């Protein structure tokens, strides 16, 4: 049980070093900060939600929290899907959305320096105005923050060609559990001095430190893109086409898969002109300007040879953007069908057919609906279990199906998460994937960065027994 006297002391000390209205304690105000999009993961009622606007204020919060051993949950826009941002009972939620400045965009060094609350889409558009490109683009890019992307090492639609968030992080400013300021990495394009703490912190889901600034690598803006949509009568034919496209060295800047259920859900949610009566849709793109037409023509021939029912090339940038938008609507469209548990397995492309066949069998065995969109070009699929939240038996079957899909992914030489992170949702599976020695090393690293165990406790790693 919380100690009211101690709680008042913590709140008083927090307020003493923060700007006016930075600390929220009214349950009506803090309720919205309790959890991310993983609605079935446990969450608590925080003692306070703190909304800093500077690195110094973050340091103050961590010093107070360390002094009183109060848990701290760093939080972005709460668009995550694994419960990593869920509040802990009696803890402090550290919302970083007000630290939302783009501090520098340098066309010569091709870097941007940003605070964690900057939205992905805002950064992407800002650098594009200077002829530059920030490739990581999760489907939630209009909602998700750079800090959240860093915390989970987010991917997105374009990572099949350009890579994930970690591939574009040159350096970080991080507040440690004790309130000290750690700077990792560097601004230069090359640099191998010392251990790569930057890579270690990216993807750590707030369990090792609080990122307050990031130096991100940029690229020259890509040339004009063309997009192709290929409809198939079977999932196997669609996946065959994808593996042939990738093996042909065409290097698409996007290669996405939508199963028939997902196609219908998107079309029902919003009329995007998607084809009816198909079992799979492949969306692929080339961003090589004058060469894009030849690229998509070659992709189209591969799809035709693999048995495509129809192949359509977007005639201009507007049609290409519409197809991209259809892919970004998946999460919202599927939610209309019922409660969801979103899996995030990635397997080698050569085993995608086995994965999809296995998911179909799991859905039948557990009597649940499973949609399966995904970034098929890099083998990262998002099988989503759909069920009736009000039916306890359906909820139990959904959780069993969710676990079975993760077990299948590991059996196919894959991973339990390609980009969403571990959080709470997949925490119990992480040790299975890592093995005993790697799990022990993870715990040792956590203890070095956070000896009191106050940073996002209970996330990523299970409690040591």
pLDDT at 1: 41
**Using one digit for the tens of pLDDT, what is the confidence trace for 436-453?**
999 999 999 999 999 999
Q: Is the pLDDT reported for residue 111 higher than 90?
A: yes
Q: Compute the distance between CA of residue 252 and CA of residue 257 in angstroms, rounded to an integer.
A: 13
The two structure tokens encoding residue 245: 């496209």
User: pTM of the prediction?
Assistant: 0.94
How are strands ordered across the β-sheet holding 23-24? 23-24, 48-50, 92-95, 72-75
Neighbour-count burial of 360, counting CB atoms closer than 10 A to its CB (0-12 exposed, 13-18 middle, 19+ buried): middle
Residues 6+ apart with CB under 8 A from 386: 334, 337, 338, 339, 340, 368, 369, 370, 371, 398
**What value does the mean pLDDT of the chain take?**
95
Task: Tell me the residue ranges of DSSP E strands in 165-222.
Answer: 169-175, 181-185, 210-217, 219-220
465 confidence band (pLDDT: 50, 70, 90): low
Q: Compute the distance between CA of residue 241 and CA of residue 199 in angstroms, rounded to an integer.
A: 34
Domains in the chain: ranges and CATH: 4-95 (3.30.43.10), 102-220 (3.30.465.10), 226-331 (3.30.70.2190), 338-411 (3.30.70.2740)
pLDDT at 337: 94
Q: Compute the distance between CA of residue 33 and CA of residue 169 in angstroms, rounded to an integer.
A: 27
The two structure tokens encoding residue 160: 């099949």
**Using one digit for the tens of pLDDT, what is the confidence trace for 239-292?**
999 999 999 999 999 999 999 999 999 999 999 888 889 999 999 999 999 999
299 confidence band (pLDDT: 50, 70, 90): very high
pLDDT at 5: 66
- Tokens 């079935």 belong to 40
65 confidence band (pLDDT: 50, 70, 90): very high
Contact call for residues 144 and 194 (beta carbons, < 8 A): no
- Bridge partners (DSSP) of residue 370 are 385
**Using one digit for the tens of pLDDT, what is the confidence trace for 14-40?**
999 998 899 999 999 999 999 999 877
Q: Is the pLDDT reported for residue 3 higher than 80?
A: no
């Amino acid at each position: 049980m919380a100690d009211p006297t101690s709680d008042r002391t913590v709140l008083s000390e927090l307020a003493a070093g923060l700007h006016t209205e930075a600390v929220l304690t009214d349950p009506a105000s803090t309720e919205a900060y309790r959890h991310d999009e993983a609605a079935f993961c446990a969450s608590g009622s925080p003692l306070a939600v703190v909304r800093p606007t500077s690195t110094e204020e973050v340091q103050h919060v961590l010093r107070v929290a360390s002094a009183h051993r109060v848990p701290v949950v760093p939080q972005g826009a709460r668009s995550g899907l694994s419960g990593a941002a869920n509040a802990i009972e009696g803890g402090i939620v550290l919302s970083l959305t007000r630290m939302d400045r783009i501090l520098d965009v340098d066309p010569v060094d091709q870097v941007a320096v940003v605070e964690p609350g900057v939205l992905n889409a805002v950064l992407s558009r800002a650098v594009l105005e200077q002829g530059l490109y920030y490739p990581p683009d999760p489907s939630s890019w209009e909602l998700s923050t750079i800090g959240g992307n860093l915390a989970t090492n987010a991917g997105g639609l374009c990572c099949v060609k350009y890579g994930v968030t970690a591939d574009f992080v040159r350096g970080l400013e991080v507040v440690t559990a004790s309130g000290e300021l750690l700077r990792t990495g560097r601004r230069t394009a090359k640099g191998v001095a010392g251990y790569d703490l930057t890579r270690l912190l990216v993807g750590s889901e707030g369990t090792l430190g609080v990122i307050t600034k990031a130096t991100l690598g940029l690229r020259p803006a890509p040339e004009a893109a063309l997009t192709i949509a290929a409809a198939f009568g079977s999932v196997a034919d669609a996946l065959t086409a994808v593996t042939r496209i990738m093996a042909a060295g065409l290097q698409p800047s996007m290669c996405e898969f939508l199963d028939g259920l997902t196609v219908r859900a998107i079309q029902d949610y919003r009329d995007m002109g998607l084809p009816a009566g198909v079992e799979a849709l492949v969306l692929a793109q080339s961003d090589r300007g004058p060469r894009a037409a030849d690229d998509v023509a070659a992709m189209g021939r591969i799809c035709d040879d693999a048995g495509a029912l129809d192949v359509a090339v977007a005639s201009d940038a507007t049609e290409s953007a519409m197809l991209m938008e259809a892919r970004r609507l998946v999460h919202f469209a599927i939610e209309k069908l019922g409660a969801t548990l979103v899996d995030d397995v990635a397997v080698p492309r050569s085993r995608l057919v086995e994965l999809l066949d296995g998911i179909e069998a799991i859905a039948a065995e557990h009597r649940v609906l499973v949609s399966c969109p995904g970034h098929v070009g890099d083998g990262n699929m998002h099988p989503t279990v759909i069920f009736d939240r009000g039916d306890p038996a359906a909820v139990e079957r959904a959780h069993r199906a969710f676990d079975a899909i993760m077990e299948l992914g590991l059996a196919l030489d894959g991973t339990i998460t390609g980009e969403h992170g571990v959080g709470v949702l997949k925490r119990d599976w992480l040790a299975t994937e890592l093995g005993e020695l790697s799990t022990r090393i993870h715990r040792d690293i956590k203890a070095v960065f956070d000896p009191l165990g106050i940073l996002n406790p209970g996330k990523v790693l299970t409690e040591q027994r």
